Amino acid sequence: MRVSDPPGAGDGTSRRTARTRVRRNPGRASHALEDIHAVLDAGLLCHVGYQLDQGPVVTPTAYWREGNRVYWHGSAASQMLKHQSMRMPVCLTVSHFDGLVMARSAFHHSVNYRSVMIFGTSEPVSDAQEKLRQLALFMERIAPGRWDQVRQPTTRELRLTSLMSLPLDEAVLKSRSGPPVDDVADYELDVWAGVLPVTTRAGRPVDDPALAAGVAPPRGLRSLKTN
């Protein structure tokens, strides 16, 4: 880290840059890696934005984290991953929608949420051993122990899978929580105000209709944290 660099990963925070500096409601933002990790680890689906000649594209995809990096993957035939394999600027955003904030005035209605935006250049991971290790980490995140039960990827399947990575060097967390904040005079109004909480949860596992008799779902699957 150069002396002139703003605070970054070396002190447990992500870098403050023009695009991670929060101008409005700065109390709702954090650059602390510990906070950023917590929001990332509470999700499975992110949105990756990148620019094509025709304009911006935002694609939903699964992701996971190891240390100060996020990873996402997919078919090597996917248009998104073909482009990102060339190393391109991306923004990877993870958002948890926690509730609707219902105020006494229309104007002060809001949303409770936690989101992390990560800016950087997509980095393809091409080493087969590292790809295998990362895919195992991803499965471990979803269902601990399952990697050793399923048929593992063949050399061909690994080749057909593109793996992408992005460091948390330039990332920012934004969030809102708690009750509505109304104008003082509006607290007199006779209208309900509060929060409608929204949660995302895993339900009861549904067997594949082709499942052999007597094979039970892995324990702990329902407790998967997703938000």
Which residues in the 119-148 window bind a copy of itself by CB under 8 A?
Answer: 119, 135, 139, 142-143, 146-147
CA-based R_g, the chain, Å: 21
Judged by CB, which is closer to a copy of itself: 2, or 151?
Answer: 151
Strand order in the sheet with 29-30: 29-30, 170-176, 110-121, 89-102, 45-52, 55-66, 69-75, 161-167, 123-125
> Per CB under 8 A, does 68 bind a copy of itself?
no
Total Cβ atoms within 10 A of residue 191: 10
Judged by CB, which is closer to a copy of itself: 3, or 213?
Answer: 213
Among positions 32, 152, 177, 225, the unique one binding a copy of itself when judged by CB under 8 A: 152
Piece of the chain touching a copy of itself by CB under 8 A; list 1-9, 32-40, 63-71, 87-95: 87-95
> Per CB under 8 A, does 100 bind a copy of itself?
yes
Q: In the structure encoding, which two tokens stand for residue 150, read together?
A: 């399923």
- Shortest Å distance, C-beta 125 to a copy of itself: 16
Among positions 29, 102, 125, 137, the unique one binding a copy of itself when judged by CB under 8 A: 102
The Cβ-side half-sphere exposure at 175, using a 13 Å CA radius, reads 15
- Shortest Å distance, C-beta 60 to a copy of itself: 4
In eight-state DSSP terms, residue 154 is P
- What is the rounded distance in angstroms from the CA atom of residue 108 to the CA atom of residue 112? 12
Interface with a copy of itself: number of residues (CB under 8 A): 97
- Shortest Å distance, C-beta 118 to a copy of itself: 10
Piece of the chain touching a copy of itself by CB under 8 A; list 2-10, 30-38, 64-72, 104-112: 104-112
H or E element, residue 39: helix 33-41
Residues 6+ apart with CB under 8 A from 150: 139
> Per CB under 8 A, does 75 bind a copy of itself?
yes
Q: Which residues in the 173-212 window bind a copy of itself by CB under 8 A? A: 179-180, 186-187, 189-212
Among positions 41, 66, 127, 157, the unique one binding a copy of itself when judged by CB under 8 A: 157
Nearest to 80 by CA among 54, 55, 53, 49: 49
- End-to-end alpha carbon distance in the chain: 34
> Per CB under 8 A, does 11 bind a copy of itself?
no
